[in-house]
Every structure is written in C-alpha cells, then in structure tokens.
Amino acid sequence: MSSRIWLRRAYDRPTRNDGHRVLVDRIWPRGISKADAHIDDWARELAPSDGLRRWFGHDLHRWDEFQRRYRAELGHQEQSLNKLARRIDQGRVTLVYGARDQRHNNAVVLRDLLEQRRGRR
C-alpha cells in the first residue's frame, strides 16, 4: 500500500491518520451520515458510471473486464485525476468507498491508476 494513498470503507471509523478523505462512489453510502463519514471531498466524476457499476455488480468473474472499462472511463477525467494527484502530492489521501469487497472495487482500480501515474513522473 502506498504511504500517500490509503483505502478505507465508508463504514469503517475514520482515523486521524487518514489525511484528506475523498469519497469515490457515485452514490452516498447507505446508512452513513455526512457528519460521521468525515468526507473532505466527493469525487463523483471519478466513480464508475451507473451503467458500468450495475453491469459489474461485484461479480468477480467480471473483475478484469470491469477494471479495463473503468480505466477507459477514467481516461476521460484527466482534469479530475490531475486535481486528485495534486492533492496526493500535498500529503496522504484516503480514497473512501462503500463496497463490501475490499480487494475488488473501484477505489482499488483508482488507487492503482494514480500510483502508476505518480511513478511515471
């Protein structure tokens, strides 16, 4: 795990070590208040499209294709990716997501993409 980019479920308690917390889901996590979530930014535009999210449905057989399609969608969000990358350059950022599966979700793909971009600079 990158020391600059952390991942945390929206349902987990925030910690003071989280740094800047960015929700990366298109819809707000059920049952969590905005006050309890301690979200600094909500990057809806970096979440998978509704169609892609529904198609994936957290079906692990679709994981590889989900990653490919989601990365393609993120390719159209250069400005938002750059904004988030600048924030990461300033210090730790925690990407917050609502999915139960901690290894197969959009935040994992987004983190990996951001780390690849950071490695190229």
Q: What is the pLDDT of residues 36-59, one digit of tens each?
A: 999 999 999 999 999 999 999 999
In the three-class reduction of DSSP (H, G, I as helix; E, B as strand; rest coil), residue 99 is classed as coil
Q: What percent of the chain has pLDDT over 70?
A: 97
Closest CA to 9 of 42, 25, 19, 20: 25
**Mean pLDDT for the chain?**
95
Parallel/antiparallel/unpaired status of strands 20-23 and 93-97: parallel
pLDDT digits (tens, 9 = 90+) for 53-88: 999 999 999 999 999 999 999 999 999 999 999 999
DSSP string, 64-85: HHHHHHHHHHHTT-HHHHHHHH
Predicted TM-score (pTM) of this structure: 0.94
Report CA torsion sign: 28, 10, 85, 67: negative
Which residues pair with residue 6 across a beta bridge? 94
Which amino acid, one-letter code, is at 59?
D
pLDDT for res 2: 54
Q: What share of the chain is helix, strand, coil (3-state, %, to 5)?
A: 50, 15, 35
